[in-house]
Amino acid sequence: MSHSMQPPHDTAPQHGAYVPPPQHMRNGLGTAALVLGIIGAITGWIPFIFFLGGGLGLLALILGLVGRGRGKRGEASNKGVATTGAVLGLVAMVAATVGMVASFNAVDEGLKEFDKATSSTGTKAPTTDTGTGTDSGDTSKSKNKKKSKAKGGSGGGGSSDALAAGESTTYKDDLKITVSAAKKFSPSEYAIGHTVGNKAYQVTVTVENAGDKKFESALLTADARAGDDGVTAEQIFDDKVGAGFTGTILPGKKATVQYAFDAPAAAKNLTLEVSPGFLHDPVLWELAL
């Protein structure tokens, strides 16, 4: 009598060995470090945006070192890329330092040039129509005062070293300004700035550019005060006067403009202040009416 064989109940089924899934490579940091390092190395050398290169370089260095660590642990396959990014980050930081120094030097040189231009455009001693005065310092001031007093130009609230009619002032950049004597002026019917009962006076301002650089005359202004009380003399605008200086005066050229001012009828003098611009000191003329 035969019996069928049954497999034991406690026998477990046979399986193959367990194989873990392939590890995902984390290459993002290395790639980012390379990109940021390249951008930082380029922008770091450029003045005034060096800070951008420095910041990107620092970030590239950090990401590159972290990415390199992942590569050593087998978590990333672009260890070389991360290393290159870190090196470029260092280069970017060095470049940013150079760019910072260059920027500061450029700003410093610019400030020095501005100071030089400002100091070099101070007024020379006022001269006659020839404009050949070369005195400076205390000697110039003493001569100016003597000249003004001799011509009676200290009245009416004017400065003791104001120039007289027909005299010129020449700046160190060879910009020469001359103001004529004041003469009576008849405003038109539609003139602006004239008050009935007051008297109007016209002066001629001539600007000669004897230097070697262009002069932008649009910045030149002329203001006046009248009488012993130094009241403001309003500028008169009509079809003949009031336009002022416009445009550029080339080296070797000159420009002439007529101004008119409204003064009280009893005023005996007019103090005219001409300011060529913020790079030049204003100058006063004391004009008899």
Domain ranges in the chain?
28-120, 137-288
In which band, very low, low, confident or very high, does the pLDDT at 155 lie, cut at 50, 70 and 90?
very low
Cα distance between residue 80 and residue 87, in whole Å: 11
What are 90-129's pLDDT values in tens digits? 999 999 998 888 888 888 888 888 777 665 554 444 454 4
Q: Is the pTM of this model over 0.85?
A: no
pLDDT of residue 9: 53
Mean of pLDDT over the chain: 81
CA dihedral 244, 248, 253, 258 (to 10 degrees): 0
The confidence band for 35, taking pLDDT boundaries of 50, 70 and 90, is very high
Q: What is the pLDDT averaged over residues 47-68? A: 89
Residue 275 pLDDT > 80: yes
**Integer Cα distance of 172 and 120 in angstroms:** 6
CA dihedral 118, 121, 123, 124 (to 10 degrees): 130
The pLDDT score that the predictor gives to residue 110 is 84
pLDDT, average across residues 80-94? 91
What are the DSSP calls for 79-123, one per residue? Answer: HHHHHHHHHHHHHHHHHHHHHHHHHHHHHHHHHHHHHHHHHHTSB
User: How is domain 137-288 classified at the architecture level of CATH?
Assistant: Sandwich (2.60)
Structure confidence at residue 11 (pLDDT): 52
Q: What is the DSSP string of the chain?
A: --------TTPPPP-PPP-PPPPPP--HHHHHHHHHHHHHHHHTTSTT-HHHHHHHHHHHHHHHHHHHHHHHTTS-S-HHHHHHHHHHHHHHHHHHHHHHHHHHHHHHHHHHHHHHHHHHTSB---B-TT------HHHHHHHHHHHHHHTT---TT--TTPEETT-EEEBTT-EEEEE---EEE---TT-BS--TTSEEEEEEEEEEE-SSS-EEGGG-EEEEEETTTTEEEEEPBSSSS-----SEE-TT-EEEEEEEEEE-TT--EEEEEEE--TTS--EEEEEE-
Q: For position 17, what pLDDT does the model report?
A: 60
pLDDT > 60? residue 186: yes
| 204-260 per-position pLDDT tens digit | 999 999 999 999 999 999 999 999 899 999 999 998 898 899 999 999 999 999 999
Q: Say what the pLDDT of residue 132 is.
A: 38
Kindly tell me if the per-residue pLDDT of 276 is higher than 70: yes
**pLDDT for 153:** 35
Residue 112: per-residue pLDDT? 81
Amino acid 10: pLDDT: 52
Q: Read off the amino acid at residue 51.
A: F
pLDDT of residue 214: 93
- What is the pLDDT, as a whole number, of residue 142? 43
Q: How confident is the model at residue 139 (pLDDT cuts 50, 70, 90)?
A: very low
pLDDT at 1 over 70: no
Arithmetic mean of pLDDT, 49-62 = 90
Q: Report, as an integer, the average pLDDT of 26-49.
A: 88
